[in-house]
């Protein structure tokens, strides 16, 4: 491995970690969503600094080309994160659905109250 690729690997991992931590700091990312990216960043940094870990891990699981292990783990993490996001989306959809129903029910109650109080507005009749 050349010095350039060594430096490149470490720099890429550091950049990723920096971006994630900075977004966390500015509250643009919540911890529970950032955890996977943090794990991935630390793994990348670890392997960037000590490539022997990768070679050792690859030989343990019987993979001849160590980079294949990198691809495998990267893709596995991406797939899991995508599934987690889909699940999250489903939860959000059912919550917004309940809120939409609540809003409509409240609007009905409000109309009834306004009618009783005789202060009917033209709201919503556009």
Contact 70, 54 (CB under 8 A): yes
Cβ proximity to other proteins: between 64 and 122 the closer is 122
- The least distance separating other proteins from the CB of residue 15, rounded to whole angstroms, comes to 39
Tell which positions 76-105 bind other proteins, by CB under 8 A.
93-94, 97-98, 100-101, 103-105
Rounded Cα distance between 29 and 60, Å, is: 36
Task: Using CB atoms within 10 Å of the CB of residue 41, give its burial: 0 to 12 exposed, 13 to 18 middle, 19+ buried.
Answer: buried
**Which residues are at the interface with other proteins (CB under 8 A)?**
93-94, 97-98, 100-101, 103-105, 107-108, 124-125
């Amino acid at each position: 491995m050349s010095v350039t690729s060594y430096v490149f690997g470490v720099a890429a991992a550091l950049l990723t970690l920096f971006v994630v931590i900075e977004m966390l700091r500015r509250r643009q990312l919540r911890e529970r969503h950032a955890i996977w990216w943090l794990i991935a960043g630390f793994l990348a940094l670890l392997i960037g600094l000590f490539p022997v870990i990768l070679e050792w891990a690859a030989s343990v699981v019987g993979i001849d080309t160590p980079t294949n292990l990198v691809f495998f783990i990267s893709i596995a993490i991406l797939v899991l994160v995508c599934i987690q996001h889909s699940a999250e989306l489903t939860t959000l959809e059912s919550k917004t659905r309940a809120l939409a129903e609540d809003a409509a029910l409240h609007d009905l109650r409000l109309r009834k109250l306004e009618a009783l109080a005789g202060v009917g507005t033209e709201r919503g009749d556009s």
